[in-house]
Amino acid sequence: MNLQIIGITTEYNPFHNGHKWQLQAIRKKFGNVTVIACMSGFFVQRGEIALTDPWSRAATAVRAGVDLVLLLPSWYSLRSADYFAAGAVKTLVATGLVNTLVCGAEQITGNDLAETAAWSLQAETEQQIKTLLQKGLSYGAAWETAAIQNHKDARWFKGANNLLALAYQKAVIQNNLSVELLTLPRRGSNYNDTELTPPYASASAIRTALRNSCASGSLASVMPEDSLALLKLNETNYTARFIRQEETLTLLLGSLLARCNSHDLYEHSSGSRDLCDRFHNARSDLQQGYSSFCRSITNKRDPLPSVRRLALQLLLHKDRSFWTETPEPAYLRVLAFNNRGRNLLRKMKETAKLPVVIKPGRIERYKNTALYPLLQLDTDAADLYQLLNGNIGVYGTCLTTSPLYVK
C-alpha cells in the first residue's frame, strides 16, 4: 500500500511530548510521510472547554510536524466515542488523499482489532450488550463481559485509546472505507492520569497542573517549547480562568434549569430520559458549582464526560433531532498548514469529496446548503467558547478567522 499520506485524529489539549513522540514514530516507521490531522475545536470529547482556540493549537501541531490540520466539527466532539471517531475518519477520508490512519493504543499487540470491531457490530452482540446493561452492568463492563464470553480480546474495551482505536476500526468497516488502520503503543502516562510524570505526562495531568497554578518549569519537562509558549504561563492565571469558566457555566445552566423541565432538556439534547430527569432533579446542586453538579449526576451508565457533553449541548440549544440524526461531514475546514500542507490543499481541489472551507464569511451564504447545520453549530460553539473565556460580546470568530500558515 502507498503510505505517503497518514491521517490522525487529535485534540491536542494541549500538545505534549507524547504527541510529539507519535509524529516521530510515524516517520520512523513510514519515512518522511505527509501527515493530515483532524482536530476537535472549541470543546473536546470529554465535554471540557479547550485550553486555547483551535487555530493556535493547530499551528502548534504544524510546528511539531503535522502538515495540515482540519477541524472536527463540534457535533462530533460533543458526542460519544463512536460518533467522534466516525466523524474524524470520514473527514480524513473525504480529503481523497489519506490512505492510512494511525492511532495510539494502550500497549496492545496482535492483529485482532478488525476482528473484534466486526464482532462488536453484529446484531447478536448488540442484543447481548442490552441484556447485560439491563442486569446493571456499566457500559464498559458490559462490553468486557461480552468479549470474554465470546472469546474476544477484552483488552480492546479497556483504556481510552483502545476504545478509540476500536471506534475508528468500526467506522472503517461500517462505511466500507478503503483505508488501513494501524496502531502505535501509547507512550508514557495513561490517558486519565493526573500526576505530572516526565517526559510523557498525559494531557489530563497537564490540565490538572494548570488548574493548580503549576510553574512553567514543571511543564517544560512534558511539553515542547512551542506548546508551552502557546499557554503563555507568564501571562495567564489558569486557576482564575478555570474558576471564571466554572462560575459562568453555573450561571448559564442555572438560568436554563430555572425555565426548563426535564422534557425540555430531553427535547434539546441527545441524552436519555433518565439522564435528563436526573439533570433536572439535581438543579439545586448548582449551588455548589458546575463541577459538583455534574459529579452528582454521574452513574455507571452516564460517566462524567457524558454529563458534561449534555450540559454543553443544552447551552447550544438545538432540537433533539439535530443531535440524534447523525450527519455526514459536510466540509473540510482548514485550521493550519505548512508548505507541504499548502501543496495538499492544491491537490484537494481535485481529490476532495467535500468543499474545502478556508474562511467562511457570512453564515447567510450557506443557509440553503448542506454545510449550514454543522457550520452554524461551530459558529455557536465558538461564540459560547468566547463567552466562557470572559470575552463578552465577541461573536462570529468561527466565520472570520483565517487558517494559519506556518513557514
From 19, 49, 46, select the one nearest 222 (Cα to Cα): 19
Query: What's the one-letter identity of residue 54?
Result: P
**Helix (H, G, I), strand (E, B), or coil: what is residue 154?**
helix
Q: For residue range 85-121, what is the model confidence (pLDDT) as tens digits?
A: 999 999 999 999 999 999 999 867 666 899 999 999 9
d(CA 145, CA 142): 5
pLDDT at 1: 44
Q: How far is CA 34 from CA 181, 212, 297, 343, 381, in A?
A: 16, 38, 44, 11, 30
Cα 389 from Cα 255, distance rounded (Å): 18
Find out whether the peptide bond into 199 is cis, omega within 30 degrees of 0.
yes
User: Is residue 382 within 8 Å of residue 394, measured between CB atoms?
Assistant: no
Spans in the chain with pLDDT lower than 70: 1-3, 107, 109-111, 188-192, 215-217, 234
Question: In a 3-state reduction of DSSP, which class is residue 235?
Answer: coil
Dihedrals φ, ψ of 404, to 5°?
-100, 125
- Looking at residue 174, its amino acid is Q
**261 φψ region: left (φ > 0), alpha (ψ -120 to 50), beta (else):** beta
Name every residue whose Cβ is closer than 8 Å to that of residue 116 and which is 6 or more positions away in sequence: 147, 152, 153, 156, 166, 169
Give bridge partners of residue 43 from the DSSP assignment: 49
Cell matching residue 10: 487529535
